[in-house]
Amino acid sequence: MYHPFDPISPEEMRAAVGILKDKFKGIRLRFNLIDVNEPIKEEAIPYVEAERLHQELPVAPTRLIQCLFHRVDTYVFMKAMVNVEERRVDWVKEMPKHVQGPADIDEMQALEELCMTHPKVLEEKEKLQLPEGVDLCCEPWIYGTDDSNEDRRLCQCYLYLRPVDHEQTNHYSLPVSFSPVFNSVTKEFVRMDYLPTGADTKTGPTKPWKPVKAVEYAHDLLDEPLRKDLMPYIVQQPEGPSFTVEGQLVKWQKWRFRVGFNHREGLILYNVTYDSRNLFYRLALSEMTVPYGDPRMPFHRKQAFDVGDVGLGVTANQLALGCDCLGYIKYFDGFRIDSKGNPILLKNVICLHEQDNGILHKHTNFRNNAATVVRNRQLVVQMICTLANYEYAFAWYFDQAAGIQFEVRATGIVSTIPVDEPGLSVPWATQVAPGVMAPFHQHLFSLRIDPAVDGYKNTIYYEDSVPLPVDEKLNPHGIGYGVEKTVIKKAGPAKTNVDRHRVFKIRNDDVINTVSYNPVAYAIHTVPSQMILMNEQSFNTKRAEFAKEPVWVTKYQDDELYAAGEFTNQSREDTGLAKWAKRDDDVENSDVIFWHTFGLTHNPRPEDFPIMPVETITVDLKPSGFFTKNPALDVPRSTQSFNKSVLVTKSEDATCGC
Amino acid sequence: MYHPFDPISPEEMRAAVGILKDKFKGIRLRFNLIDVNEPIKEEAIPYVEAERLHQELPVAPTRLIQCLFHRVDTYVFMKAMVNVEERRVDWVKEMPKHVQGPADIDEMQALEELCMTHPKVLEEKEKLQLPEGVDLCCEPWIYGTDDSNEDRRLCQCYLYLRPVDHEQTNHYSLPVSFSPVFNSVTKEFVRMDYLPTGADTKTGPTKPWKPVKAVEYAHDLLDEPLRKDLMPYIVQQPEGPSFTVEGQLVKWQKWRFRVGFNHREGLILYNVTYDSRNLFYRLALSEMTVPYGDPRMPFHRKQAFDVGDVGLGVTANQLALGCDCLGYIKYFDGFRIDSKGNPILLKNVICLHEQDNGILHKHTNFRNNAATVVRNRQLVVQMICTLANYEYAFAWYFDQAAGIQFEVRATGIVSTIPVDEPGLSVPWATQVAPGVMAPFHQHLFSLRIDPAVDGYKNTIYYEDSVPLPVDEKLNPHGIGYGVEKTVIKKAGPAKTNVDRHRVFKIRNDDVINTVSYNPVAYAIHTVPSQMILMNEQSFNTKRAEFAKEPVWVTKYQDDELYAAGEFTNQSREDTGLAKWAKRDDDVENSDVIFWHTFGLTHNPRPEDFPIMPVETITVDLKPSGFFTKNPALDVPRSTQSFNKSVLVTKSEDATCGC
């Protein structure tokens, strides 16, 4: 009934909740996450291989539901593995005291309300002497970690002002300099932090607010008139889209894959094949971290792990037709659990559509001007997540030359802090509006690639382009160059290298390309990026060792999906790659995993405020001797009768030979 | 009548030819290049400033026509500067004997015909014992340079077989192992080179051809059936495009610029302003070099300088509506001179159109799901050039957040050489078909940026993101980071640095941003690339010093436009950046030029054959404190009524609040 890679259904959610409630009769439970547990790969492979080869399907892998929850009485954090079909709990584990589960939406909402009505907060608010109509706004933040060995589940509430009662007024424009800390469990007020508003660590008592105009982005609230000269641009697909969808299964231009979805990772691609050849077993963003570069208390703890702390699935926007996506759109839904155990529909969280990306290949014979042109039609699978102030759009693009591209776009609103003195220069922030600084920060992403390049045992290697030695006979002019191949034999990190034009590849040692005589492979075009800037001894780095190195290679094990480990909320160390990569596993010609850390050091500019034009980073996965020739030769030529372009002026049309 | 930046007209061409013929009465002349000489910047600035400020126009800069030609009797290479309006020759210069002008189309055509009919070639052809219907094909190549101090203007003709009589049969699939060298001037046969067909320098006599099937790309010639499941994707702009064009002047979404065109550079952007503020005086690809990594004779001389050796303007494709471009297209024409002095129309060599590039900015207030979405409409100006086997698409993208992107796409056909032994491994090439190797090579581009960031005196600097020192009080956890700024004070090269996240910026020291309190600036997002691999002592590197360093800064001087110098054909040294950058000029707060070398080390894969899926590189130019906030706030929101997207299934539409 369910494909092994199908996301959880509301029925399964309700069933799991019921089973757990039965087991814990009389004890109130608070649900944090309920999702399908990743199938055991050893069981899943025969199943998807039988599908691929159109053979009789074996028994499906056991489908288990993982549940994270708390006992409301003790607030012990628990994990259970539930077999819904057989109505039993396989096991339950109590997490150690200091391990925090991810934040959940109900919890954050409750904290927001608590904060806004708490006497200690109202006391500070009084001191602001706010004019009529201006109100406080609370943004609960994951507390983070420092060396205080904090076992409590805490929440740092950053506060802002809402200058008008409009649903999109930009409170980030008016940050306030006091910030309460609450105990998320007991709801106790822990302390009031005061934010430094100068260039040093000095803080002060709350002073009356000096009114300043907020910098708004919502169209209703703009001072300036809107542009009137943007003409409509409409994409039509009169014969419908070129893709087909059956449940979670997508087929398009020889591609075939399943769209996965869960609370934590959001969009996952499973079982990606091209022309029935295996390429990737699983592709997903495994973690990300956004550490801030302002060293002062409380900002030293400001480090978001948006996948592990909260989840991309639960923060994915419910997309709207014609606003987010252009053309002929297919949407996928998902479900999350609320704290009471009710399944909540997440409608339209993943979108699927085509786009045209210019020319794919072209050649003109200069002698006679005869030309072949083929356009680059791509398939896009995308989700857009809102993490408080920030938005991230994560997209996968498929092309007809068997290339895949992972794209991250950052937009939304940079995190802001208050500053008193106009024109004050601080090393770690940019002034983006009167009274507002935007601190420097990094966005570091870990892309987890579980390859299956023509099969399930692969080898990772890299090629560097290097000069050949000067040789009197062969290379007298010193212009020859070749490639140095290095196979990665042991688990561990690896470095990118621009000066040597290092290219990482994943090959299948047992399948030789009949044209190039080399093992078939895919190249992972890594993005050389600045790694995490924070000191090795800092918790920021200890919690995110994945962010120290651009490439990690590990040997596959079930349950090793998340680069910084399973529980990142208030974590003290990286329980992910930091551990797995030290295992000294042999990884050559094995079930190997490739993890790529890439990112952006973001020192905000005024143009990023009040809302940020997208910053885009892309990672390309391209065949490298996987095929014996260009796999897109059979894409029909680009013609005017097909494309129906229009000439702007009344000069004679050029007629092409196509 | 002409704007200073207008390309040459056919009338001016005919006039210049007439004037020169008068001057050289009785002497036959052979024309190589006739184009508008770059206006003297000191004269042009007041003119374009008056335009920008809507003031009375001063006298236009003197418009001079530069002419490159030969006397047919002596074949002396000459350059003249002609004032067409005043019907006089300002000066004529004889070039030194070893200086070669660029190749011209008539010359290449004549050499091709000569080669195909020459007895020495026919003699070798006999030995091939070609079956009926299979013919030779000749591709004349720029001779290049080695240490032979060659003064003659030579041409290396690489030969291939045409297996069928079809206008697009892929002769690159059947390279032949003899290659005649001709004297382009005297048309004399110089020698027959034999290509090494193994892994060493050994060559041999021409042997009978062992028939092998060519790998074709033209749709008529494919064995495989075409894909039938690609549905049409049509872009409609029912209210027309958002741009306006008057002559060469383009206006779009607060952008204003002039499209320039000439024989050598092809597409040039002049006088780029946003919202009437100066940004860039001139933007163009100044040179490129493609050195090959096979060290053996004659390949050691294989190094294309496609801008200087031939010209991007003259090799630009005459684009066809609906094939090359999608949507609502405006074309620009150009003109070139033929060897007899006739202007030849180059129709539709530059195209202009809009495209949609996804989301530009988005934010959702998570509390109430109210969202603002704005889409990323871009303006594209593009040319596609065919350089024998290769195609390069050069495009400029403008966006509504005042960003500009320069994009290079390489496609077409990789250069091939013959190989005898199947499966032979050579260090410097990939086997891409039976009997065919594709040698490794680099594509290195020099983008010349002549900035005018809010004015004509700018400073270039770079910012590195670096950790702040651990400080017990301020930075006890070692997590703080800041930016180190380095101003470039002297002309010369500079390095990129990924580990420090180095960002180059161009600022105006005299215009301070009222929000950030820093000088207004634009960031040039350099692309860290492997620089030229060839030995420092090789001619490949001596001729292209621009390819040794990723960034060069020089002080503007008229006539310093081309990174490797004016005449690259068979050049012996770089007469461009290599000289100008050593001048020890002070460049801070001056008329400064920024040159960026970036590229791709291309070790072909089988998938690049017989025609290559595009490889794309982009350089972003983005405001960095040029504006006081996001300049795209006033772009209307993205709405379904505007975009008219279609839902694929019959589930209920999500309605957005937009």
Amino acid at A37: N
Q: How much is the pTM?
A: 0.97
Min CA distance, B140 vs chain A (Å)? 12
Q: Do A627 and B606 touch (CB under 8 A)?
A: yes
Contact B215, B433 (CB under 8 A): yes
Catalytic residue among A331, A390, A392, A562: A390
Q: In this predicted model, what pLDDT tens digit does every residue of A352-403 receive, in sequence order?
A: 999 999 999 999 999 999 999 999 999 999 999 999 999 999 999 999 999 9
Are B513 and A606 a contacting pair at CB < 8 A?
yes
- B651, B597, B239, B231: which is closest to B442 by C-alpha? B597
The chain-wide mean pLDDT, for chain B, equals: 95
Between CA B623 and CA B631 the distance in angstroms is 10
Is B506 in contact with B453 (CB distance < 8 Å)?
yes
What is the pLDDT of chain A when averaged over all its residues? 95
What is the tens place of the pLDDT at every residue in A508-524?
999 999 999 999 999 99
- Residues in chain B, overall count: 658
B103 near A CB under 8 A:
no
How crowded is the C-beta side of B592, counted as CA atoms within 13 Å? Answer: 29
Say yes or no to pLDDT of A300 above 70. Answer: yes
The answer to whether A309 and A569 have CB atoms below 8 angstroms apart is yes
Shortest CA distance from B624: residue in chain A: A605
Chain B segment 183-222 residues within 8 A of A by beta carbon are: 200-201, 215, 217-219, 222
A531 CA: distance to closest CA in chain B (Å): 7
Q: Which two tokens stand for residue A453?
A: 């390049």
Q: Which of A276-280, A318-322, A586-590, A627-631 has the lowest mean pLDDT?
A: A318-322
| b/e A344-360 (16+ beta carbons within 10 angstroms → b) | eebebbbbbbbbbbbbb
Closest residue in chain A to residue B513, using alpha carbons only: A606
The pLDDT score that the predictor gives to residue B649 is 60
- Give the ipTM: 0.96
The pLDDT assigned to A323 comes to 75
**Contact status, residue A37 vs residue A62, Cβ threshold 8 Å:** no
From the list B567, B556, B451, the residue with the least C-alpha distance to B509 is B451
pLDDT for residue B646: 81
Question: Are B533 and A466 within 8 A, CB to CB?
Answer: yes
Say yes or no to pLDDT of A657 above 50: no
Q: What does the pLDDT read at residue A649?
A: 60
> Cβ A295–B386 below 8 Å, yes or no?
no
**Which CATH number applies to A10-94: 3.10.450.40, 3.40.190.10, 3.90.1200.10, 3.40.50.150?**
3.10.450.40
Look up residue B142 and give its two tokens. Answer: 């720029």
B positions 221-250 inside 8 Å of A (CB): 222, 224-227, 229-242, 245
Interval A239-253: pLDDT, tens: 999 999 999 999 999
β-sheet bridge partners, residue A460 = A506
List strand residue ranges (DSSP E) for B574-649, in order: 592-602, 612-623, 646-647
Confidence check: pLDDT of B4 > 50: yes
Residues in B 563-602 with any Cβ partner in A closer than 8 A: 601
Alpha-carbon distance B134 to A598, whole Å? 52
Q: What is the pLDDT of residues B510-561, one digit of tens each?
A: 999 999 999 999 999 999 999 999 999 999 999 999 999 999 999 999 999 9
Fill in the amino acid letter for A528: P
Residue range(s) in chain A whose domain bears CATH number 3.10.450.40: 10-94, 105-221
Examine the pLDDT at B651 and tell me if it is beyond 70: no
Contact B399 A430 (CB under 8 A): no
Contact B370 A167 (CB under 8 A): yes
Looking at per-residue pLDDT, the higher value among A46 and B655 belongs to A46
Q: Where in chain A is the domain with CATH 2.70.98.20?
A: 243-292+303-414+440-640
Tell me the pairing of strands B154-162 and B135-142.
antiparallel
CA distance B43 to B60: 7
| CA contacts within 13 A on the Cβ side of A249 | 10
Q: What is the pLDDT of residue B201?
A: 96
How much is the pLDDT for A643? 77
Give catalytic status of residue B158 as yes or no.
no
Give the pLDDT score at B541.
Answer: 96
Under 8 Å between Cβ of A235 and B233: yes
Which pLDDT band, with edges at 50, 70 and 90, does A654 fall under? very low
Question: Which pLDDT belongs to residue A321?
Answer: 76
Going by C-alpha positions, the residue among A232, A649, A356 that lies closest to residue B236 is: A232
Pairing of strands A646-647, B328-337: parallel
Asked whether the beta carbons of residue A498 and residue B233 sit closer than 8 angstroms, the reply is: no
> In the prediction, which pLDDT does B642 show?
73
Question: Chain A interface, mutation test: which of B479, B503, B516, most A Cβ atoms within 10 Å?
Answer: B479
For residue A216, the distance in angstroms to the closest alpha carbon of chain B comes to 9
Is the CB of residue B300 less than 8 Å away from at least one CB of chain A? yes
Task: Supply the pLDDT for residue B104.
Answer: 87
The active-site residue out of A294, A306, A309, A399 is A306
- Which residues are bridge partners to A289 per DSSP? A444
CA angle (A352 as vertex; A346, A353 as ends), nearest 5: 145
Contact A489, A502 (CB under 8 A): no
Beta-bridge partners for A30: A70
Secondary structure class of B389 (helix, strand, coil): coil
Q: Closest to B230 (Cβ–Cβ): which among A413, A539, A635?
A: A635
**Rounded mean pLDDT, B278-296:** 98
Residues above pLDDT 90, as percent of chain B: 93
Sheet holding B189-194, edge to edge: B135-142, B154-162, B178-183, B189-194
Tokens describing residue B527? 């692309």
Mean pLDDT of A307-328: 90
A contacts of B496 (beta carbons < 8 Å): 498
In B, residues 530-569, which contact A (CB 8 Å cutoff)?
A: 530-531, 533-535, 537-540
Interface list for B 408-427 with A (CB within 8 A): 409, 411-413, 422-423, 425, 427
Find all residues with CB under 8 Å of B431, minimum gap 6, and list them. A515, A516, A517, B419, B423, B424, B437, B438, B606
CATH 3.10.450.40 for the A105-221 domain, yes or no: yes
Question: Is-contact A352 A258, C-beta < 8 A?
Answer: no
Relative orientation angle of helices B105-117 and B119-128, to the nearest 10 degrees: 60
The string of DSSP codes covering B436-488 is EEEE-EEEEEEEEEEE-TTSS-BEEEEEEEEEPPPBTTTBTTS--EEEEEEE-
Q: How far apart are CA A597 and CA A592, in angstroms?
A: 17
Stretch A605-631: mean pLDDT, rounded? 98
Cβ separation of B613 and A606 shorter than 8 Å?
Answer: no
A556-560 long-range contacts, CB within 8 A, separation 24+: A556/A41, A556/A450, A556/A590, A556/A591, A556/A592, A556/A593, A558/A38, A558/A40, A558/A41, A559/A38, A560/A593
In Å, how far are A192, A291, B197 from A295, measured between CA atoms? Answer: 19, 10, 63
Which residue in B166, B202, B233 has the most chain A C-beta atoms within 10 A of its own C-beta, making it the best mutation to test that interface? B233
Q: Is there a contact between A253 and B239 if contact means CB atoms under 8 Å apart?
A: no
pLDDT > 50? residue B654: no
Q: What angle do CA B507, B510, B511 make, to 5 degrees?
A: 75
Question: In this predicted structure, what is the pLDDT of residue B464?
Answer: 98
d(CA A434, CA A437): 8
Looking at A190-204, A574-588, A641-655, which range is the least confident one? A641-655
pLDDT tens profile B587-624: 999 999 999 999 999 999 999 999 999 999 999 999 99
Pairing of strands A417-418, A429-433: unpaired
Residue pLDDT, tens place only, B26-69: 999 999 999 999 999 999 999 999 999 999 999 999 999 999 99
Q: If contacts are CB pairs under 8 Å, which of residues 124-153 in chain B contact chain A? A: 146-147
pLDDT attached to residue A3: 98
The question of whether A306 is a catalytic residue gets the answer yes
In the 3-class helix/strand/coil scheme, how is A372-427 assigned residue by residue? EEEEEEEEEEEEEEEECCEEEEEEEEEECCCCEEEEEEEEECCCCEECCCCCCCCC
A240 closest CB neighbour out of B231, B237, B393? B231
**Chain B nearest CA to A597, separation (Å):** 13
Q: What is the pLDDT of residue A324?
A: 83
B465 contacts on A by Cβ (under 8 Å):
440, 530, 533, 601, 603
One-character DSSP codes across A212-271? ------SGGG-SSPPP------EEE-TT--S-EEETTEEEETTEEEEEEEETTTEEEEEE
Q: What is the CATH number of domain A243-292+303-414+440-640?
A: 2.70.98.20
Q: How far is B22 from chain A (nearest CA, A)?
A: 34
Q: Do A200 and B331 touch (CB under 8 A)?
A: no
